[in-house]
C-alpha cells in the first residue's frame, strides 16, 4: 500500500489538475455560482493536502494548522456550492468563521499538541459542512425532479444524485473520524485503520473521482436554467413576464387546490399612470413600475408569485388566504408603495386591484378574466381599492368593462 506522503501528493495533484480542467472547461464558459464555489473548494483542498507534505519537517508547526484551516474553508465552499443549486445565498463572512476558530488554537498549541488540537475540531467542522451540503444536494435533486422549469435534464439529475451521495459519504466519514478520535484516540490502531490518514485519503480520492464529471453537468445545467429564467423575466421589473406568470399562476393555484388551501389571483393596475409619463417623463414611470415590483416581491410569501402583465398592469397569486386576508394584504401593499413616494420628486400612483378565485371547472383564462373585470370595477368606484369578483360583476355589459384585447389568452385549460 502507498505511504501517506505518496497518497497525499497524488491527492493534491489530482485536486489541482481537476481544478484547472474544471476552471477552463466549466467555470469560464458558464460563470455559474456552483462552478465558482466548486473551483474555490478544489483550490483550497489541493493546497491543504499539499501542506500536509511538510508534516515531518521543522515547519510543521506552521503548515499543519494552515492545512486544517484551508481544509475547513474548502468544506465550507462545498456547502456554499450546494446552496447555490437552489439559488440560496449565505453571507460570505461565514467562510472565515470555522477556519479561524480552528487556526487560532492550533497555532497556539505546541508541536506535540497540534495534531490533537486540530484533528478533532476540523473533523467535526468538516462533518457538519459536508452533512449540510449533502442536505442541500438532496433537496436540489428532489426539487429538480419535480421542477416545472423546462424539461427534466436526465444527466443533471444523475449528477445531482452522485453529488448528494458523495457529500453524504464524506459527512459520514468525518463524523466517524471525530467519534473514533474521541473514543479511541489519535494514536490507536483502531483509529488509524478506520479513520486515519490512509482511509481519509482514499475516501477523498474516490469521492473526488466520482463527482468530477457530475459537477461539470451541474455547472452547465445551472447556467442553462439561469438563462431560461432570465428569458422568462420582465427586463424592467425582474418579475415574471406575462406568459410565464400565467404558467406559474396555474401551477400555484392547482397546487393550492390539491392541498385544500385557498388561492386568489390578483390583477393590479397603477392608477393614472399615463399622467406620470406625460408630466414627469418615462424615466419617472419606469421608476414607479420598478418600485411597485420591489414592494410586491417583498410582500410575497413562499410559493406565491407575481408578474408584469404588460404596461402598468401586474398579476399576483396569493396562497392560503380568504377574501378578508387578501384585502388586508393588498391594503398593506398599497400603503407600503405609497410610503416610498418620499424618495422621488413626484407622487407615486395609487393602485386598483381586482381579485378572483378559481371555482370548479374554471380555466386559468376565466380566472384572469374575472380578476381583470373586478379591477375595472375598482377603477370605476374611484380607484385606490380592491374589489372581489362576484357573479353580479360578471353579468355587467362587457363594453363597460373595457376588456383589453392584448390581455386575452387563447389557452383555456382547466386548473
**Residue-wise pLDDT tens digits, 365-382:** 889 999 999 999 999 999
Q: Which SS3 state, helix, strand or coil, does residue 88 take?
A: coil
Which residue's C-alpha cell is 399622467? 275
pLDDT-based confidence at residue 395 (cuts at 50, 70, 90): confident
Domain 4-230 identical in fold to domain 242-407: no
The answer, yes or no, to whether residue 222 has pLDDT greater than 80, is no
Mean pLDDT of 167-191: 90
The answer, yes or no, to whether residue 9 has pLDDT greater than 90, is no
- In order of 51, 123, 242, the CA distances from 209 in angstroms are 21, 21, 44
Report how far residue 348's alpha carbon sits from residue 342's, in angstroms, rounded to the nearest whole number. Answer: 9
Highest mean pLDDT among 39-43, 319-323, 333-337: 333-337
Alpha helices in 233-270 (DSSP H): 242-259
Specify the pLDDT at position 18: 81
Q: Are 273 and 330 in contact (CB under 8 A)?
A: no
* Residue scoring higher pLDDT (106 or 37): 37
Mean pLDDT of 307-315: 94
DSSP code of 344?
Answer: S
pLDDT-based confidence at residue 409 (cuts at 50, 70, 90): very low
Q: Which SS3 state, helix, strand or coil, does residue 133 take?
A: helix
Strand partners, 264: 318
pLDDT-based confidence at residue 1 (cuts at 50, 70, 90): low
Specify the pLDDT at position 154: 75
pLDDT-based confidence at residue 16 (cuts at 50, 70, 90): confident
Specify the pLDDT at position 117: 58
Q: Could you state, in order of their start, the residue ranges of all structural domains in the chain?
A: 4-230, 242-407
Does domain 242-407 fall into CATH 3.30.70.270?
A: yes
Q: Are 122 and 71 in contact (CB under 8 A)?
A: yes
Q: What is the CATH number of domain 4-230?
A: 1.20.1070
Q: Which has the minimum average pLDDT: 60-64, 311-315, 384-388?
A: 60-64
Report how far residue 71's alpha carbon sits from residue 152's, in angstroms, rounded to the nearest whole number. Answer: 34
Q: Are 375 and 267 in contact (CB under 8 A)?
A: yes
Strand partners, 307: 240, 315
Report how far residue 25's alpha carbon sits from residue 261's, in angstroms, rounded to the nearest whole number. Answer: 46
Which residue's C-alpha cell is 385549460? 413
Q: Which SS3 state, helix, strand or coil, does residue 343 take?
A: helix
Q: Are 411 and 249 in contact (CB under 8 A)?
A: no
Average pLDDT, the chain: 84
Copy the grid coordinates of residue 265: 389571483
Q: Are 234 and 311 in contact (CB under 8 A)?
A: no
Q: Are 357 and 367 in contact (CB under 8 A)?
A: yes
- In order of 4, 36, 227, 272, the CA distances from 179 in angstroms are 22, 32, 45, 68
The answer, yes or no, to whether residue 106 has pLDDT greater than 80, is no
Which residue's C-alpha cell is 465552499? 77
Report how far residue 109's alpha carbon sits from residue 174's, in angstroms, rounded to the nearest whole number. Answer: 22
Report how far residue 239's alpha carbon sits from residue 221's, in angstroms, rounded to the nearest whole number. Answer: 22
The answer, yes or no, to whether residue 398 has pLDDT greater than 60, is no
* Complete edge-to-edge strand list for the sheet that includes strand 351-356: 305-310, 313-319, 263-270, 351-356, 386-388
- The number of beta carbons lying within 10 Å of the beta carbon of residue 382 is 10
pLDDT tens-digit series, residues 40-56: 988 998 898 888 888 78
Cβ-based neighbours of 10, under 8 Å, separated by 6 or more: 2, 205
Strands (E), 320-396: 351-356, 386-388
What is the CA angle 49-156-91, rounded to 5? Answer: 55
What is the CA angle 52-204-211, rounded to 5? Answer: 135
| DSSP run (H or E) holding 319 | strand 313-319
Mean pLDDT of 393-415: 48
Amino acid at each position: 500500500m502507498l505511504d501517506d506522503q505518496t497518497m497525499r501528493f497524488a491527492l493534491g495533484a489530482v485536486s489541482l489538475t481537476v481544478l484547472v480542467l474544471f476552471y477552463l472547461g466549466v467555470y469560464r464558459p458558464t460563470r455559474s455560482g456552483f462552478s465558482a464555489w466548486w473551483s474555490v473548494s478544489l483550490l483550497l483542498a489541493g493546497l491543504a493536502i499539499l501542506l500536509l507534505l511538510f508534516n515531518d519537517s521543522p515547519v510543521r508547526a506552521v503548515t499543519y494548522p494552515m492545512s486544517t484551516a484551508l481544509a475547513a474553508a474548502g468544506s465550507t465552499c462545498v456547502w456554499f456550492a450546494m446552496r447555490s443549486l437552489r439559488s440560496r445565498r449565505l453571507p460570505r463572512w461565514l467562510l472565515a468563521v470555522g477556519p479561524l476558530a480552528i487556526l487560532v488554537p492550533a497555532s497556539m498549541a505546541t508541536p506535540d499538541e497540534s495534531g490533537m488540537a486540530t484533528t478533532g475540531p476540523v473533523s467535526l467542522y468538516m462533518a457538519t459542512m459536508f452533512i449540510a451540503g449533502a442536505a442541500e444536494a438532496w433537496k436540489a435533486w428532489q426539487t429538480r425532479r419535480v421542477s416545472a422549469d423546462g424539461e427534466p435534464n436526465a444527466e443533471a439529475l444523475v449528477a445531482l444524485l452522485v453529488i448528494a451521495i458523495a457529500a453524504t459519504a464524506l459527512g459520514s466519514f468525518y463524523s466517524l473520524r471525530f467519534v473514533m478520535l474521541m473514543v479511541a484516540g489519535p494514536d490507536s490502531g483502531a483509529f488509524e485503520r478506520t479513520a486515519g490518514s490512509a482511509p481519509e485519503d482514499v475516501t477523498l480520492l474516490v469521492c473526488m473521482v466520482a463527482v468530477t464529471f457530475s459537477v461539470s453537468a451541474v455547472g452547465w445545467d445551472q447556467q442553462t436554467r439561469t438563462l431560461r429564467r432570465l428569458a422568462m423575466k420582465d427586463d424592467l421589473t425582474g418579475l415574471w413576464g406575462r406568459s410565464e406568470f400565467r404558467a406559474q399562476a396555474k401551477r400555484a393555484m392547482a397546487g393550492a387546490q390539491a392541498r385544500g388551501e385557498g388561492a386568489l389571483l390578483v390583477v393590479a393596475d397603477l392608477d393614472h399612470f399615463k399622467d406620470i409619463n406625460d408630466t414627469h417623463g418615462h424615466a419617472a414611470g419606469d421608476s414607479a413600475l420598478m418600485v411597485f415590483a420591489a414592494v410586491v416581491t417583498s410582500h410575497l410569501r413562499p410559493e406565491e408569485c407575481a408578474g408584469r402583465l404588460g404596461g402598468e398592469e401586474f398579476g399576483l397569486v396569493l396562497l392560503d388566504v380568504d377574501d378578508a386576508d387578501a384585502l388586508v394584504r393588498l391594503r398593506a401593499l398599497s400603503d407600503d408603495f405609497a410610503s416610498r413616494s418620499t424618495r422621488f420628486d413626484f407622487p407615486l400612483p395609487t393602485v386598483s386591484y381586482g381579485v378572483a378565485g378559481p371555482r370548479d371547472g374554471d380555466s386559468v383564462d376565466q380566472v384572469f378574466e374575472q380578476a381583470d373585470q373586478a379591477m375595472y370595477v375598482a377603477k370605476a368606484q374611484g380607484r385606490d381599492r380592491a374589489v372581489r369578483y362576484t357573479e353580479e360583476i360578471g353579468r355587467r355589459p362587457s363594453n363597460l368593462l373595457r376588456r383589453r384585447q392584448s390581455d386575452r389568452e387563447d389557452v383555456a385549460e382547466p386548473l
